[in-house]
A and B are shown apart, each in its own frame.
Chain A
Amino acid sequence: DTGVSQDPRHKITKRGQNVTFRCDPISEHNRLYWYRQTLGQGPEFLTYFQNEAQLEKSRLLSDRFSAERPKGSFSTLEIQRTEQGDSAMYLCASRASQSEETQYFGPGTRLLVL
């Protein structure tokens, strides 16, 4: 499968625990986006990388959230001290270049915080 992949697909954790999600974009896509989707809503932008540089972060991304893309390929999203309100689907998308606007989404990681 040459599309965007995410791991794990599902995560159940207890409140207060830390979790980390991984996203592997389409090969040679230099732009990578994280979104969060709650039930019945559209995805909401969290953050965006161009290569390894994190260029924009949403106000939704509290200080408990951190994202990295150390080598400009895969990315990780970590949530520290999880809260029940963090329960959502976390989607990753990648895009080829500045002139190519289509974002291709991964299957998402569904997080449930108990």
Chain B
Amino acid sequence: GENVEQHPSTLSVQEGDSAVIKCTYSDSASNYFPWYKQELGKRPQLIIDIRSNVGEKKDQRIAVTLNKTAKHFSLHITETQPEDSAVYFCAASKGGLTGGGNKLTFGTGTQLKVEL
């Protein structure tokens, strides 16, 4: 089955700096890669996603890049703010019209701390 590895497990940055979180996946058939943000005691919330037919996607301060050949994808947060502090999870699935049920396989999470 799919295996997703995520690094680093913790990341501290100064406010205004950029943060990068990296994930690798094992199943070359995976074609959907979402990123979730989870604040303490709250539900995971989707912040951005990318499909395998796209190499990069950006939404304001957040961007995701995908390298299908190397089977890795990354989350980039620019101009970090204290409210960005949370645990971030990457995930992979075989979704859409290819079937596979779209069950998500998650990484182990990155605790991001944005310091003032």
Q: Do A102 and B34 have beta carbons less than 8 Å apart? A: yes
Q: Which residues of B contact A101 (CB under 8 A)?
A: 32, 34, 49, 51, 93, 95-96, 102
Q: Which residue of chain B has its CB nearest to the CB of A31?
A: B102
A42, B96: Cβ atoms closer than 8 Å:
no
Interface size on A, residues (CB 8 A): 25
CB–CB B96/A107 < 8 A: no
Asked if residues A41 and B43 are in contact (CB atoms below 8 Å), the reply is: no
Interface locus among B13-21, B55-63, B78-86, B104-112: B104-112
Which residues, 44 to 100 on A, are CB-close (under 8 Å) to B?
A: 44-45, 48, 55-56, 91, 95, 98-99
- Which of B45, B89, B102 has the largest number of chain A CB atoms within 10 A? B102
Task: Say yes or no: B103 contacts A45, CB within 8 Å.
Answer: yes
Residue in chain B with minimal CB distance to A107: B43
Write out the residue numbers on chain B whose beta carbons fall within 8 Å of the beta carbon of A108. Answer: 43
Given A91-B43, A102-B49, A105-B43, verify A41-B96 contact (CB < 8 Å). no
Q: A95-B102, A103-B102 are in contact. List 14 more A-B contacts (CB 8 A).
A: A35-B104, A42-B91, A42-B107, A42-B108, A42-B109, A43-B104, A45-B105, A48-B101, A101-B32, A101-B102, A102-B34, A102-B49, A105-B44, A107-B43
Question: Could you tell me which A residues sit within 8 Å of B by CB distance?
Answer: 4, 31, 33, 35, 40-45, 48, 55-56, 91, 95, 98-99, 101-108
B residues contacting A by CB (< 8 A) are 4, 6, 32, 34, 36, 42-46, 49, 51, 89, 91, 93, 95-97, 99, 101-109
